[in-house]
Amino acid sequence: MVIGAGHAGVQAAAGLRAGGYGGPVTMVTTEAHFPYERPPLSKEALDQEVDAASLSFSLSLRPHDFFTDHRISVLRGQAIEIDRLSQRVQITGGRRLGYDHLVLATGASPRRITLPGAALVGVHELRTMSDALALRSALDRARRVVVLGGGFIGMEVASAACKRGLHVSVLEQGDRVLGRAVSPPVSAAVAAHHRAEGVRLLLGDQADRVVGRNGRAVGVQTVAGEWLPADLVVLGVGSIAEDGLARRAGLATDDGVLVDEWLLTSDPRISAIGDCASVGDAATGTSRRLESIQNATDQGSYVAARILGDVPPYHALPSFWSNQGALKLQMVRSVPGHDRLVVRQGDAGFSVLCLQDGLLTGVESVNDSAIHMAARRLLSRITPTEIELEEVDFDVRKLARRAMTVDAALPGSP
């Protein structure tokens, strides 16, 4: 049984069938909509030119007859309790279902901050299809939008609102946008792009309160004393793992459901994957929770393969993308952090090579896809002397081709 029918849950269920599993597969989901893609909710779904009525169809994660064709039951309801002794899950509506193996793919939900005025009409958050449809119709009526939080979702919403010709301000408490996710050169490029589009960026400041009149938001008062009039306020202040179900069942949690390198929880009959899972690293004693499509789908595929047979511990390169108007951002990172950054200009954009202890450990690209794809093949293999960082005509693609040739010549290569 799989709890949650997002990217991770659907991938796990589909992976079980693809791997030849013949037993019953049930997915439990709280969502009213057919399983759908989440990234477009802050991008295409807010675009006036995209037809709202067709959204839930066009964003489907799988064709509509996929689940019946593959004998995957999709059960609407909320899993409210796991009885680990009897291996049963209590679902709303009085239903109790048994499991041989349980996969928690419960995702994350928007972080809720204690902000006066956050419950006023006109204040929106964005996680689900229903949130996106509500935000979309609010954008249809809005003139002035204030986005709280300069992370990916906040900047993507700002971009969509700006494209509609609305007056947009973004309030970010850090000193740069996307500060927790990308290096300063990428933050600077993103900020410059949005400012050029007409977005007002207020950095190093935060909302003190949302002010309302007759129950509706009319503006945001900032801590630094700015008054930002608004008929629409969007909260984009991060997400928290949906790990309450696991915690209530006595599973180990800490900013997510704690899993080992096989994505198993502290109960070997329960796995956790995707946004809700925090994967432990036995070598360092740390754990890391990621929120990305690559992470959710890779972990979904992995857990299906592991249920079906012997597999090595889970390993994947964490990657992420974001589209903001004309900006296409791509990030990949083998380990967090860096001690050196090298910026390489491309034809239409640039890439930032992140180095740690002499190894290339990350690549962040802005409108520079070809270099990005070449550089990611070199991660954790190339030292600065080898990549001749200071050479003006240094060519990442040539180096990637050379590395592939060396790989092909190694014994055991296919």
Ligand X SMILES: Cc1cc2nc3c(=O)[nH]c(=O)nc-3n(C[C@H](O)[C@H](O)[C@H](O)COP(=O)(O)OP(=O)(O)OC[C@H]3O[C@@H](n4cnc5c(N)ncnc54)[C@H](O)[C@@H]3O)c2cc1C
Q: Which residue has the tokens 């740069």?
A: 176
Q: Does 321 bind ligand X (CB under 6 A)?
A: yes
| Residue selected from 172, 242, 298, 364 as contacting ligand X according to rule CB under 6 A | 242
* Cβ 4 to ligand X shortest distance, Å: 3
Segment contacting ligand X by CB under 6 A, of 24-32, 218-226, 249-257, 405-413: 24-32
User: Beta 167-172 vs 200-203: how paired, if at all?
Assistant: parallel
* Cβ 358 to ligand X shortest distance, Å: 29
Distance CA 153, CA 323 (A): 10
Q: Does 275 bind ligand X (CB under 6 A)?
A: yes
| Residue selected from 97, 106, 246, 271 as contacting ligand X according to rule CB under 6 A | 106
Burial class of residue 238 in the structure, from the number of CB atoms within 10 Å of its CB (0-12 exposed, 13-18 middle, 19+ buried): middle
The DSSP bridge partners found for residue 318 are none
| Residue selected from 107, 212, 219, 349 as contacting ligand X according to rule CB under 6 A | 107
Cβ proximity to ligand X, 44 vs 208, nearer residue: 44
| Residue selected from 1, 9, 120, 306 as contacting ligand X according to rule CB under 6 A | 9
* Cβ 151 to ligand X shortest distance, Å: 10
Cβ proximity to ligand X, 91 vs 211, nearer residue: 91
User: Do 75 and 9 touch, CB atoms closer than 8 A?
Assistant: no
Distance CA 240, CA 350 (A): 32
The DSSP bridge partners found for residue 232 are 145
Distance CA 167, CA 198 (A): 8
Nearest-CA neighbor of 159 among 7, 363, 323?
323
Q: Does 6 bind ligand X (CB under 6 A)?
A: yes
* Cβ 293 to ligand X shortest distance, Å: 4
Q: Does 352 bind ligand X (CB under 6 A)?
A: no
User: Do 327 and 160 touch, CB atoms closer than 8 A?
Assistant: no
Segment contacting ligand X by CB under 6 A, of 246-254, 319-327, 385-393, 396-404: 319-327
Q: Does 105 bind ligand X (CB under 6 A)?
A: yes
DSSP conformational letter for 318:
-
| Residue selected from 18, 26, 30, 317 as contacting ligand X according to rule CB under 6 A | 30
Polymer length in residues for the chain: 414
Q: Does 272 bind ligand X (CB under 6 A)?
A: no
Nearest-CA neighbor of 104 among 310, 249, 240?
249
Q: Does 33 bind ligand X (CB under 6 A)?
A: no
Phi, psi of 206 (to 5 degrees): -145, 165
Q: Does 365 bind ligand X (CB under 6 A)?
A: no
The DSSP bridge partners found for residue 345 are 350
| Residue selected from 2, 14, 38, 251 as contacting ligand X according to rule CB under 6 A | 38
Beta strands in 297-384 (DSSP E): 319-324, 327-333, 340-345, 350-356, 359-366
* Cβ 333 to ligand X shortest distance, Å: 13
Q: x/- string (CB under 6 A) for ligand X, residues 279-308?
A: ------------xxxx-x------------
* Cβ 115 to ligand X shortest distance, Å: 20
Distance CA 10, CA 138 (A): 30
Q: Does 236 bind ligand X (CB under 6 A)?
A: no
User: Do 19 and 304 touch, CB atoms closer than 8 A?
Assistant: yes
- Chain residues binding ligand X by CB under 6 A are 3-9, 28-31, 38-39, 41-42, 78-79, 105-108, 126-127, 153, 242, 245, 274-275, 291-294, 296, 320-322
